[in-house]
A = this chain, B = another copy of it.
Amino acid sequence: MNSSFVVGIDVGGQTSKIGVVDARGTVLAQTVIRTDTYSEVEPYIAELADAVNKLIKDSGTEGKIRGVGVGAPNGNYYTGTIEAAPNLTWGRNKVEFAQLLTDALELPVVLTNDANAAAVGEMTYGAAKGMKNFIMITLGTGVGSGIVINGQVVYGHDGFAGELGHTIAVRNNGRTCGCGRTGCLETYCSATGVARTAREWLELSDEPSLLRGLDKIASKDVYDAAKEGDKLALKIFEFTGKILGRSFADFIAFSAPEAIVLFGGLARSKEFLLEPMETAMNENVLGLWKNKVKIVFSELKESDAAILGASALAWEI
């Protein structure tokens, strides 16, 4: 048996992306199913297994699959479970995800959270290739993170390490977070956080802006306005970048990474975020790291990245 392919699955709140990947990181075939049509995990797993088996068959890799890597919100590497994932319709209680999928596919399955999967993908195929120490920050609906030390993802004592989106960025009068606390980094620096800043600032000032009068503001609207030179939109990215950079300064004191690697929808606003982020990071970091830590952006094709990251885990099985 020549097991030279892996399957990567990226479980998102709405959809699950599945791909068959070779050792060079080429996605040979991919498909998508809905994640949110079930309130119980079993029928979802059944549909997922069907889709995986069909994809393996269609790509001619039957009998050649080494294993399956899954990135999912709150996925635990040690236990293979998903716990208390508010964005998964079937994941609010504890779900034995890896075991269920192993049983359905008769293939080894390894699971971790989506940001850790992204870190492995970046290290195996992307911007962090060759790096042994870096911090992956995913700027999406929330802020996720995957920390790599000595070439290994940090899982910690319980498998849940790397929740940097939930470190406290604003200690007093911080914004309420979905986690029940206030001031978390992700309430400011996620796509949602950027939209929130826009809404707050529009209400607090009379400053003219292209964002005024929009029915519902998303981070993409802020990006589009910044592109047009809208001053308020530019200030929003400056503010967002500054908070990120300040937090990065503290993260660096922890693990002294070679780089911070950014990925996710909001990272596409690189042209507006990079400069304030770098400035704040270097202004706030301990002297010995000033101007020494790189901020780099993912080089993976966004449609493939999540699958690649998850699949990369399966090479370690």
Question: How far, in whole Å, are A155 and B254 apart by their CA atoms in the complex?
Answer: 9
CA distance A181 to B255 in the complex (A): 19
Contacting B at CB under 8 A, from A100-146, are 132-133
Given that A152-B150, A249-B168 are contacting pairs, would A161 and B255 also be in contact in the complex, using a CB cutoff of 8 Å? yes
Return chain B residues, CB-CB under 8 Å to A167: 250, 253-254
A156 within 8 A of B: yes
Tell whether A216 is near chain B: CB-to-CB under 8 Å: no
A171 at the B interface (CB under 8 A) = yes
The closest CB in chain B to the CB of A251 belongs to B254
The answer to whether residues A181 and B286 also contact, given A132-B157, A171-B170, A249-B168 and a CB cut-off of 8 A, is yes
User: Is the C-beta of A79 less than 8 angstroms from some C-beta in chain B?
Assistant: no
Query: What is the minimal beta-carbon distance from A91 to any residue of chain B, in angstroms?
Result: 14
By a CB distance below 8 angstroms, the chain B residues around A286 are 163, 166, 179, 181
Q: For the complex, is A160 an interface residue (Cβ under 8 Å from B)?
A: yes
What's the least CB distance linking A163 to chain B, in Å? Answer: 4
Q: Is there a chain B Cβ closer than 8 Å to A164's Cβ?
A: yes
Contacting residues of chain A (163-213) with chain B, CB-CB under 8 angstroms: 163-164, 166-168, 170-171, 179-181
Q: Confirm or deny: A23 has a beta carbon within 8 angstroms of a beta carbon on chain B.
A: no
Q: Does A54 contact B (CB under 8 A)?
A: no
- Rounded to whole Å, the gap between the CB of A129 and the closest CB of chain B is 15
Nearest Cβ on chain B to A107's Cβ, whole angstroms = 27
Please indicate the chain B residues that have their CB under 8 angstroms from the CB of A256 in the complex. Answer: 154-163
Q: Please tell me if A9 contacts chain B, counting CB pairs below 8 Å.
A: no
Known contacts A156-B133, A161-B256, A256-B160; A168 and B251 CB within 8 A of each other: no
Q: Which among B83, B84, B171, B292 is the interface contact of A158 at CB below 8 angstroms?
A: B292
A166 to B158, CA, bound (A): 26
- Do A284 and B181 touch across chains, with their CB atoms under 8 A apart? yes
Known A180-B287, A181-B284, A251-B254; contact A156-B166, beta-carbon cutoff 8 A = no
Q: Which residues of B contact A149 (CB under 8 A)?
A: 149, 154, 156, 161
Judging by beta carbons under 8 Å apart, are B179 and A157 in contact?
A: no
Tell me if A56 counts as interface (CB < 8 A to partner B). Answer: no
Residues of B within 8 A of A96 (CB): none
> Which residues of A come within 8 Å of B, CB atoms?
83-84, 132-133, 147, 149-150, 152, 154-164, 166-168, 170-171, 179-181, 246, 249-251, 253-258, 284, 286-289, 292
**5 A-B residue pairings within 8 Å (CB atoms):** A154-B254, A157-B257, A160-B256, A164-B254, A168-B249
Given contacts A166-B253, A251-B254, 13 further A-B contacts (CB under 8 A): A84-B288, A133-B157, A149-B149, A154-B256, A158-B292, A162-B256, A163-B253, A168-B246, A168-B249, A170-B171, A179-B286, A180-B287, A254-B255
